[in-house]
Amino acid sequence: MAFDRMIAKRNGLSETERTLYKTCEVWAAVESRSLGALLRTDPITSLMRAAAAFASIGASRVAATLRLGADKLARMPTMVQRRDCIAALEDMLVCSDDAVDSLIEEFARRYLRGDDAGTRAEAHALTLPNEGTRLH
């Protein structure tokens, strides 16, 4: 979490750019079945950040699935159960009715066209309950 913010500040990424980066990073991991590797450090927070990013681009079903995955993962006591949970999450995500590639493309187009006000509003970070931690 702090690392993401540090990288974003160092690289000068806007909130919109961080949203675009996060959705591309997570979706590529889902498609390549490498979500587990992406989630090695702080998987619950990472899934919640990803959910916020996908909600920002309009992928509401993917966002809901990621939140559900975070909730289920939090209740898995063993590494084997967590690995199985992540594999099941990947299966659910690739079957989503959200047209993720198209949503990412449209979000990026609006950003590149200069419709930054719209993409900024959509990419507005959410907060974790009881933590006040911004999700990007």
Looking at the domain assignment, is residue 29 inside a domain? yes
Residue 136 lies in a domain: no
DSSP symbols for 17-68: HHHHHHHHHHHHHHHTT-HHHHTSSSHHHHHHHHHHHHHHHT-HHHHHHHHH
Tell me the mean pLDDT in the region 41-56.
94
Tokens 């187009």 appear where? 109
Region 29-54: what's the mean pLDDT? Answer: 94
Q: Indicate the number of domains in the chain.
A: 1
Residue 89 in any domain: the answer is yes
Q: Is residue 133 part of a domain?
A: no
Question: In terms of residue numbers, what domain contains 43?
Answer: 2-127
| pLDDT classification of 133: cutoffs 50, 70, 90 | very low
pTM of the model: 0.77
DSSP 8-state secondary structure symbol assigned to residue 96: -
Asked if 125 and 48 touch (Cβ cutoff 8 Å), the reply is: no
Q: pLDDT tens, 50-96?
A: 999 999 999 999 999 999 999 999 999 999 999 999 999 999 999 99
The Cα 60–Cα 133 span in angstroms is 21
**Residue/partner pairs of 6-13 with CB below 8 Å, 24 or more apart:** 8/136
pLDDT for 9 equals: 58
CA 120, CA 66: separation in Å to the nearest integer? Answer: 22
